[in-house]
């Protein structure tokens, strides 16, 4: 993945704006660049674009949208940014967080109203750390639906997406101005396309075990549930061009990936008052801290597995979530009228599970804080039918990456912008601070869509300047 001298580039054609990656970030960037008046070419390594976007539950958090207003939800970018900063323990870039929160509402409105992406508000429970209902998701809460909706929007604008095009090398001037991109086709042939601005929308390095071991050893050996083609190319090109990297130890994990199915079991089951036990039927952590940090806790348990315990009342709001329905159809959700029956269905020790449930209900009733720091008060007691699902912990995507400004321009260590390089989504530094604990639900698609739109807008402007 080298960056080669621009003088060596031999290209037959030039497109003003080239975008690498056709996930949520790349497609949003391409739509915005076209809106800004630029011709755009999207290079996507897969024959059929999917990205981590398709693997996600497709939830985009945004504050102050017209949809929220219609439903009477009083939310503001300031409230949103407070939630982002609280989750990241104030250890992220405050100005970037505010700029992104401010742009989130208009970006979701733009996707819905200009590009006909159908989103509805997720109601029934708050995602951990969010003070307001602000998750905007496709009707079936599915990233596949989101990706399909963005591809349809791109098709309506007749955007060129070259699939089966693995971007391998960049050609750049000594000052970091990118002049061309060389990409490989599945038959091994190579083509080079010139550009005036380049958007890196090829996500982070979750698919690169060597980079994970270097930057995030604690999660390097866990399952990676994201797109395997995200191998850190943006970070490596950016570094070679003189870009600053930040928060490389940051990531989104998930502590409830249905095992062995691989589907996300929404955290609403936990935040509504459910809990997790290990093979001994015992709790082992404060599950309410957040699903990202819970990944490591689950991976530390025997067999790297745990069971999420909930009930029919907590299940109700998540019925209709594609991931949940799939696991249910495959028999992964077990249910029983008694806790002993549930223990038998899950293969857990009945006495221990009954003891754990009794402890949880006593804590819930008393309002006390448990030994892990969790407070159950405010959620209703579990009642028959009891439900459970076996889960593991996984890495979803990395949150560290190229430092960018609110216009998605990639920055050098001294804060100056590289001449014509933009980045967003998982390619850019996120808003989650330096580690696993700072990821607020939805931070991934938030920066994919908001920075994607900003990158496309900036790229069109830079390309017009020549």
Site residues (vs ligand FAD, CB under 6 A): 20-26, 43-46, 49, 51-53, 55-59, 166-167, 201-203, 225-227, 229-230, 233, 252, 264, 396-397, 425-426, 442, 444-446, 448
Residue recorded with tokens 């101005």: 177
E strand map for 124-274 = 135-137, 160-163, 166-172, 178-184, 190-200, 223-224, 245-246, 251-258
For the CB of residue 7, give the shortest distance to ligand FAD in the complex, in Å: 23
What span, in angstroms and rounded, lies between the C-alpha atoms of 19 and 178?
12
Nearer to ligand FAD, 55 or 84 (CB): 55
For the CB of residue 381, give the shortest distance to ligand FAD in the complex, in Å: 29
Instruction: Specify which residues 243 forms β-bridges with.
Output: 412
For the CB of residue 368, give the shortest distance to ligand FAD in the complex, in Å: 32
Please work out, in degrees rounded to the nearest 5, the angle formed at the alpha carbon of residue 213 by the alpha carbons of 48 and 438.
80
Q: In what order do the strands lie in the sheet with 59-61?
A: 59-61, 135-137, 120-121
E strand map for 272-331 = 275-277, 305-311
Residue in 48, 42, 49 with CA at minimum distance from that of residue 17: 42
What torsion, rounded to 10 degrees, do the Cα atoms 6, 12, 16, 21 define? -80
For the CB of residue 77, give the shortest distance to ligand FAD in the complex, in Å: 17
Nearer to ligand FAD, 87 or 335 (CB): 87
Cβ atoms of 39 and 462 closer than 8 Å: no
Nearer to ligand FAD, 281 or 332 (CB): 332
CB atoms within 10 A of CB 70: 9
What span, in angstroms and rounded, lies between the C-alpha atoms of 108 and 315?
28
The one-character DSSP state at 7 is: G
Provide the pairing of β-strand 401-402 with 334-336. Answer: unpaired
What span, in angstroms and rounded, lies between the C-alpha atoms of 383 and 378?
15
For the CB of residue 352, give the shortest distance to ligand FAD in the complex, in Å: 30
For the CB of residue 168, give the shortest distance to ligand FAD in the complex, in Å: 7
For the CB of residue 64, give the shortest distance to ligand FAD in the complex, in Å: 18
For the CB of residue 360, give the shortest distance to ligand FAD in the complex, in Å: 27
Nearer to ligand FAD, 203 or 301 (CB): 203
For the CB of residue 203, give the shortest distance to ligand FAD in the complex, in Å: 4
| Three-state SS at 460 | helix
Nearer to ligand FAD, 356 or 449 (CB): 449
Cβ atoms of 80 and 60 closer than 8 Å: no
For the CB of residue 434, give the shortest distance to ligand FAD in the complex, in Å: 18
What element of type H or E holds 4? strand 3-5
Burial of 341 (0-12, 13-18, 19+ CB in 10 A): middle
Cβ atoms of 412 and 405 closer than 8 Å: no
For the CB of residue 302, give the shortest distance to ligand FAD in the complex, in Å: 24
What phi, psi does 309 have (nearest 5°)?
A: -110, 125
Nearer to ligand FAD, 228 or 381 (CB): 228
CB atoms within 10 A of CB 280: 14
Please, what's the largest Cα pairwise distance for the chain? 73
Nearer to ligand FAD, 348 or 440 (CB): 440
Nearer to ligand FAD, 103 or 166 (CB): 166
For the CB of residue 230, give the shortest distance to ligand FAD in the complex, in Å: 5
Rounded-to-5 percentages of helix, strand, coil across the chain: 40, 25, 40
Nearer to ligand FAD, 221 or 413 (CB): 221
Nearer to ligand FAD, 19 or 418 (CB): 19
Nearer to ligand FAD, 29 or 462 (CB): 29
Nearer to ligand FAD, 56 or 392 (CB): 56
């Amino acid at each position: 993945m080298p960056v080669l001298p621009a003088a060596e580039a031999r290209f037959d054609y030039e497109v003003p704006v080239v975008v690498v990656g056709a996930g949520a970030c790349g497609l949003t960037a391409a739509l915005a660049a076209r809106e800004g008046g630029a011709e755009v070419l999207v290079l996507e390594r897969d024959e059929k674009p999917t990205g981590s976007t398709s693997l996600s539950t497709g939830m985009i958090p945004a504050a102050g949208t017209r949809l929220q207003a219609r439903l009477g939800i009083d939310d503001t970018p300031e409230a949103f940014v407070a939630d982002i900063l609280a989750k990241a323990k104030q250890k992220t870039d405050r100005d970037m967080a505010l700029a992104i929160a401010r742009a989130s509402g208009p970006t979701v409105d733009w996707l819905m109203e200009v590009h006909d992406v159908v989103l509805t508000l997720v109601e029934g429970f708050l995602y951990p750390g969010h003070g307001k209902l602000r998750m905007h998701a496709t009707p079936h809460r599915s990233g596949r639906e989101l990706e399909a909706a963005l591809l349809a929007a791109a098709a309506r604008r007749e955007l060129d997406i070259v699939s089966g095009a693995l971007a391998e090398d960049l050609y750049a001037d000594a000052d970091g101005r990118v002049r061309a991109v060389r990409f490989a086709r599945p038959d091994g042939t190579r083509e080079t396309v010139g550009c005036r601005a380049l958007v890196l929308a090829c996500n982070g390095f979750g698919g690169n075990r060597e980079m994970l071991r270097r930057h995030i050893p604690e999660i390097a050996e866990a399952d990676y549930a994201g797109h395997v083609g995200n191998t850190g190319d943006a970070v490596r090109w950016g570094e070679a061009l003189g870009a600053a990297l930040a928060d490389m130890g940051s990531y989104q994990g998930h502590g409830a990936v249905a095992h062995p199915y691989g589907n996300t079991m929404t955290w609403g089951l936990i935040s509504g008052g459910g809990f997790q036990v290990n093979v001994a039927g015992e709790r082992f952590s404060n599950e309410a801290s957040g699903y990202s940090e819970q990944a490591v806790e689950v991976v530390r348990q025997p067999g790297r597995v745990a069971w999420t315990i909930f009930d029919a009342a907590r299940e109700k709001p998540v019925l209709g979530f594609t991931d949940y329905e799939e696991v249910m159809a495959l028999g992964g959700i077990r249910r029983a009228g008694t806790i002993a029956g549930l223990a038998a269905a899950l293969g857990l020790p009945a006495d221990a599970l009954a003891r754990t449930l009794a402890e949880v209900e006593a804590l819930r009733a008393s309002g006390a804080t448990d030994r892990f720091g969790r407070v159950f008060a405010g959620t209703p007691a579990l009642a028959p039918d009891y439900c459970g699902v076996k889960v593991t912990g996984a890495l979803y995507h990395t949150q560290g990456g190229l430092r960018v400004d609110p216009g998605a321009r990639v920055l050098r260590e001294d804060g100056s912008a590289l001449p014509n390089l933009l980045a967003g989504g998982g390619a850019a530094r996120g808003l989650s601070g330096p580690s696993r604990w700072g990821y607020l639900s939805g931070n991934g698609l938030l920066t994919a869509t908001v920075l994607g739109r900003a990158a496309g807008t900036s790229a069109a402007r830079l390309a017009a300047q020549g």
